[in-house]
Amino acid sequence: MRKVISIIQIICILTVFSAGSVFSAVAEKTRRLNQEALVLLQKGKLIESILLWEQIPKSERTAEISNNIGYAYYKRSRQYFDGKYGIHSYLNEDYVKAKMSFIDSEKMDPKRWSVYLNHGDLDFYFGLLDGAKKNYEKLLKLNPNYKYSEKIITTIKLIERETRLASKNDFEPFIVEIHPSLPLYIFRIYRNPEHIDVLKDNDTSVIQSLIAEQDIEESNILLSADINFDGYMDVAILEFTGSGHNYGYCYWLFNKNSGEFEQTVNDKTELNHEIVSPYIDYVGKKLSTSWSGSDHQSTSYYNYKGGKFVNTENINIHYLRNIDGDKYRKIIKTNVNGKMKVISDKIFDDPDEAFSNTQKKSNK
């Protein structure tokens, strides 16, 4: 009987030891992946760091890891701009993943002040002022001695002021950091009459008014993006809308010398009207634009050279309706010595093959 008990005890000990070894191995792998991802993040390799973090199962993620993942997705969301969705943050994949990661981190460790800083920055960047304010307030409550607390307090007061005035004067506030060295810029979007007043930080005087030609009820009437890659945020005002996410904008580029925005001239910059629903790749300094109709889809690519956008490639796909089955004609043009030249003209039976390589989004 004693031998049987001893054998059972040995089996139990071995089972516990085995389970402990497995747990230890999983924990070590999680720790290693997190450290390797952090190193890549510090080197600016966002895609690579995210791929490593995504290897960690959600059940194994700590508050720190979830915060790190959220921060990486937030940083990646700032590497490109998608004019199809604009400030529709709930349609931005990186925004959603960042926000969910921050929420997970907050649930696991409600006293981790850094997650509220990152969460606040995310909401502020996407124009969600109420969310930014709440997260910044939690940050200061947990860490009142945060080294940039003065800047955070100023931002909170600015949000409170604009929110209060907006309720009385029927405008929608939008606050943008044009450049870290400059005061925050405030855009007051009025619906009657339709215009946008521009102010600086705590200065209550209007420095400029921008005209909105499109119905200002559109939620992405105003977008902020560094359109000409000079390190300063510019703005785009919605000019027309069409089916299939076809959004046309009037572009206003920031002039760092005057501190104001200058409307682009079409024949000089090739921005207005031609660039619809822009997709901007800040890393590669490239811009693409796409539009679609009932029988076609077109995508154009631009490089920024010599102070202007140069059209480098156009891809047009025409739908050929046929009772025997639809076909797709794909025409590719490229810039040869300043002129667009057809380099490929093919017909495809398979839509996946026809539409491949029509969206060159380096960070997606």
Q: 152 lies in a domain?
A: yes
Arithmetic mean of pLDDT over the chain: 83
DSSP state of 89: G
Residue 285 · residue 301 · CB < 8 Å: no
This prediction's pTM: 0.81
Question: 66-75 burial string, b = 16+ CB within 10 Å, else e?
Answer: bbbbbbbbbb
Kindly state whether residue 39 falls inside one of the protein's structural domains.
Answer: yes
Shared-domain flag, residues 39 and 97: no
Stretch 110-116: mean pLDDT, rounded? Answer: 97
**133-184 pLDDT tens trace:** 999 999 999 999 999 999 999 999 999 999 999 988 889 899 999 999 999 9
Is 33 in the same domain as 105?
no
Same-domain pairing of 107 and 152: yes
Establish if 197 belongs to a structural domain: no
pLDDT digits (tens, 9 = 90+) for 182-227: 999 999 988 777 789 999 988 889 999 987 665 544 555 677 888 8
Q: Note whether residue 291 is domain-resident.
A: no
Region 70-95: mean pLDDT is 78
Asked if residue 175 is part of any domain, the answer here is: no
Claim to verify: residue 98 and residue 165 sit in the same structural domain: yes
pLDDT in tens, 12-24: 554 555 545 555 7
- Which structural domain, as residue segments, surrounds residue 135? 81-169
Domain count, the chain: 2
In a domain, 177, yes or no: no
Q: Give 309-354 pLDDT, tens digit per residue.
A: 788 999 999 888 776 778 889 999 999 988 999 999 998 888 888 7
CATH, residue 104: 1.25.40.10
Looking at the fold, whether 91 and 20 belong to one and the same domain comes out as: no
Please give the Cα distance from 115 to 119 (Å, whole number).
6
Least confident residue range of 65-79, 133-147, 258-272 = 258-272
Tokens at 153, concatenated: 């307090």
Closest CA to 194 of 222, 163, 156, 158: 222
Output the pLDDT for position 73.
94
Higher pLDDT, 18 or 275: 275
Lowest mean pLDDT among 25-39, 58-72, 178-192, 318-332: 318-332
Query: Is the Cβ–Cβ distance between 102 and 115 less than 8 Å?
Result: yes
Q: Is 21 helix (H, G, I), strand (E, B) or coil?
A: helix
Please report the pLDDT score of residue 56 as a whole number: 94
